[in-house]
Amino acid sequence: MAQVTRCVVVLLLAGAAFAGPGTAVVRADSIEVELVTEHKSVQPGGEIHAGIRMKMDFGWHVYWRNAGDAGVSPTIKWSLPEGFVAGPIQWPAPHRIPIGGLMNYGYEGEVLLPVTIKVPPELHGSAVNIAAKVDWQVCEEICILGEAELDLFLPLKKAAPKVDERWRELFARTRKELPQAPPAGRVSAAARGGEVALTWEEPLKSGNVELERMVFFPADDGMIENAAAQPVELLLDADALRKSMTLVLTPAATRKQPLARLAGVLVIGSADARAAYAIDVPVGATPVREGSIETVDAPRENVDRPHPFTSFGTRHVLVLLGGVLLGFVLIWAMRKRGRPAG
């Protein structure tokens, strides 16, 4: 009897495993990859805000659509029901990831690659299955190639879909990182000797000349020297008010012709508060600018690599340790004092 029960239990478990609601998440070497949707159901004629969530182990990264000096960007191949159309990956603004003198563009920690899927107005059935085949390269010092087939079921409902609370924050955070069109007339580029100066006009109303960090990510290979520092120059007027900020870029040494256009993503601000702009501007002649220039030699990594300890800094840990040690010494000393001399 026990034998039969055991058999039945095993069969039931196996059945449960196969009849699961789709494999939306996969744990692979150094990375977790998951297919997610912002809402819990699908409305005919609406949109699915889907995305591939990638969570890298500490110290590992995946690549932006332009990986930089080396690396292969992730790709998504969708398998969708008839009439569903998936758009392109909406790449959040990347970070500079230097390795051994080379420079890569990518993401550390966790990243969501959003994709909008258009839903046809005529739908049948009670649920739809959306599937994605994801291909990636995840690197630390060394690299690992990976792929996964993910899918999930979404119930079909006429009512407006409700937000999946698990992913609300992730989608909201990611939207802030998607490059926007810059305000008209704010961005321009000019050739300057062998370099290209990318200027952001933003006059400061107060006399405060605090530097905003700036970094430029080229859309393609062979545009700029990826690993070169991108120093920022502030142009000040007679009252020492900031008129504009200029990022100095080094064109790729292998270029045969000078850069005629600068296309890519310009990020202004630091790790916690970045604004990303999608830019595509012609490289004009050197403009004449009135004012004095302050130069800041930004460090090689120039900006916003998200600090691995976001809330708990290395600094905090060291101070804490110091305090603990001090505590022990105090206790030891007090005990010593308590004992009779000797």
Partner 1 sequence: MTGFRRWSCALAPLLALLFATNGLAQDPEAKPKAKVKTEAPKKEQEPDKEKKEQEVKNKAPAFSLPDLDGKKHALADYKGKWVVLEWINHGCPFVIRHYKTGNMQDLQKKYAKKGVIWLSVCSSAPGKQGYFKAEQWKKIQDEKGAMPKAVLLDPEGKVGRLYKARTTPQMVIINPKGGIVYDGAIDSKPRARGLEQIKTADTYVAKVLDAVMAGKEAPVTKTKPYGCSVKYASP
Residues that bind partner 1 (CB under 8 A): 69-72, 75, 99-102, 104, 135, 137, 139, 141-145, 192-195, 209-211, 213, 221-222, 233-234, 253-254, 256, 270-272, 286, 292-300, 307, 313-315, 318-319, 322-323, 325-326, 329, 332-333, 336-337, 341
Choice between 1 and 142, CB closer to partner 1? 142
Q: How far is the CB of 61 from partner 1 (least distance, A)?
A: 11
Q: Are 298 and 233 in contact (CB under 8 A)?
A: no
> Which is nearer to partner 1, 136 or 277 (by Cβ)?
136
Residue among 8 and 221 whose Cβ is closer to partner 1: 221
CB of 58 to partner 1, least distance (A): 16
Give the number of other Cβ atoms within 10 Å of residue 39's Cβ.
21
- 126 vs 311, beta carbon nearer partner 1: 311
User: Beta strands of the chain (E only): which ranges?
Assistant: 25-28, 31-37, 47-56, 61-68, 75-79, 85-86, 95-99, 102-108, 110-118, 127-139, 143-155, 187-192, 195-201, 214-218, 232-236, 242-249, 261-270, 273-284, 292-296
Q: How far is the CB of 112 from partner 1 (least distance, A)?
A: 22
Taking the complex as a whole, the smallest distance from the CB of residue 289 to partner 1 amounts, in Å, to 10
Enter the tokens of residue 226: 């990826």
Residue placing its CB nearer to partner 1 in the complex, 141 or 169 = 141
How many Å apart are CA 283 and CA 191, to the nearest integer?
Answer: 6
Based on CB atoms, which residue is closest to partner 1, 185 or 342? 342
Distance CA 34, CA 136 (A): 13
Least distance (Å) between residue 234 CB and partner 1: 6
Q: Which is nearer to partner 1, 152 or 248 (CB)?
A: 248
Encoding tokens for residue 47?
A: 């949109």
CB of 311 to partner 1, least distance (A): 13
- Which residues have CB under 8 Å from 233's CB, separation 6+? 197, 245, 246, 248, 293, 294, 295, 296
How far, in Å, CA of 47 to CA of 39, rounded? 10
Least CB distance to partner 1 at residue 137 (A): 8
Q: How far is CA 242 from CA 158, 288, 293, 297, in A?
A: 54, 16, 10, 17
**Do β-strands 273-284 and 187-192 pair in parallel, antiparallel, or remain unpaired?**
parallel
Q: Which two tokens stand for residue 233?
A: 């120059």
Query: Which residue number, 85 or 325, has a Cβ lying nearer to partner 1?
Result: 325
Q: How far is the CB of 239 from partner 1 (least distance, A)?
A: 15
In this structure, how many other beta carbons lie within 10 angstroms of the beta carbon of residue 230? 20
